Homo-oligomer: A and B are copies of this chain.
Amino acid sequence: MEALPDMKNNIKNIAIIGLGLIGGSLAKALKEKNYYITGITRSEETIKLALNEKAIDKGFTVLDSASLNDVDLIVLAVPLLLIKQYIKKIAEIVKHEIILTDVGSTKSDICKIANDVLPANIIFIGGHPMAGTENAGFKSSTDNLFKDAAWVLTPFGKENNEALNKLKDLIKQIGAIPVTVSPEKHDLAVALISHIPLLISSALCSLVKDHQDKELNTLSLLLASSGFRDISRIAGGNPELSRDLITSNLNNIEKLIPLYTSTLNGLLTMGKSSSQDLIKILKETSDWRNDIYNPEGKNKNLLIKN
């Protein structure tokens, strides 16, 4: 077994590959804490903008060993389906000791690839910040995007507690809350809390949009209130990103959809057979839901513990 790299030095120089909403916001948040930031993106215009806004200290349009010189940490903030090929590229060009992380929304496949292809000098720990807005791109980035957001870290294979602790420390510095879990558990949890919601919101929009009675379709739009606006919001997201989320987590989604439709049919059956049972379950669900988003609620403490 090769010796693990010496991680006693603190992280100072950070390269962020991809300067969209997440990469750009991370650059801005880290600059606030006086890290030295190298931004790498294909768009010269974005680099100019980022330099101008002092979100990065230097920028490159090409990823090569020169652009990663003296870097202690690389953050891959490129689109989900590109992360694997960037890991392979970094495996080829980085020869010094370094920590590598990413911000991809699913983790199992990425962590497996990283474990397979990375040499011992590159410690990979997968990451997933639970933050975002309806807007994309550097122009939407902000230094407080990660404030109070959970930031998942998924150590896998060649673990290194020192590197993990350094990442946790960095995440805390920008106001986010590190949560450490296995890649598999992460992917199942995001299927439940993020990808199933995306699908059920999209399916609802399809149902209304494509209803065969066109008069009803129009009338429904007339009557759509804030409830429909909220439940359909996720369906209004970027379709490429939505597709990437779904196709990269199909195994988990496929397990959950039958459980979901069975729960839905259960509510309907209850409505038909017992108004008392229905109100009981609706009350439990309503209380549970409101407690999550109640700053005084018992579930809110979950985040503070981490």
| List of B residues within 8 angstroms of A194 by Cβ | 223, 225, 227-228
- Asked if B242 and A286 make an inter-chain contact with CB atoms under 8 angstroms apart, the answer reads yes
User: Is A43 part of the binding interface, using a Cβ–Cβ cutoff of 8 Å?
Assistant: no
- The residue of chain B having its C-beta at the shortest distance from the C-beta of A276 within the complex is B243
Q: Which of B204, B263, B275, B283 contacts A196 (CB 8 A)?
A: B204
Given A267-B199, A289-B232, residue A181 in contact with residue B219 (CB < 8 A): yes
Binding site of A, secondary structure by majority: helix, strand, loop or mixed? helix
User: Is A222 part of the binding interface, using a Cβ–Cβ cutoff of 8 Å?
Assistant: yes
Count the A residues whose beta carbon is within 8 Å of the partner chain — how many? 96
CA gap between A221 and B243 in the complex, in Å:
23
CA gap between A293 and B221 in the complex, in Å:
10
- The residue of chain B having its C-beta at the shortest distance from the C-beta of A224 within the complex is B193
Among the 9-residue stretches A91-99, A158-166, A254-262, the one with 4 or more Cβ atoms under 8 Å from chain B is: A254-262
| List of B residues within 8 angstroms of A256 by Cβ | 207
Given A227-B234, A232-B289, A286-B237, residue A218 in contact with residue B302 (CB < 8 A): yes
Given A261-B265, A271-B250, A285-B209, residue A150 in contact with residue B223 (CB < 8 A): yes
CA gap between A302 and B196 in the complex, in Å:
31
CA gap between A281 and B202 in the complex, in Å:
9
Q: Which of A224, A225, A233 has the most CB of B within 10 A?
A: A224
User: Is A292 part of the binding interface, using a Cβ–Cβ cutoff of 8 Å?
Assistant: yes
- Asked if B223 and A246 make an inter-chain contact with CB atoms under 8 angstroms apart, the answer reads no
Q: A-B pairs with the 4 shortest C-beta distances?
A: A239-B282, A239-B283, A203-B264, A236-B289
What would 6 more interface pairs be, CB under 8 Å, given A199-B264, A200-B200?
A188-B213, A197-B231, A198-B227, A209-B284, A229-B293, A261-B264
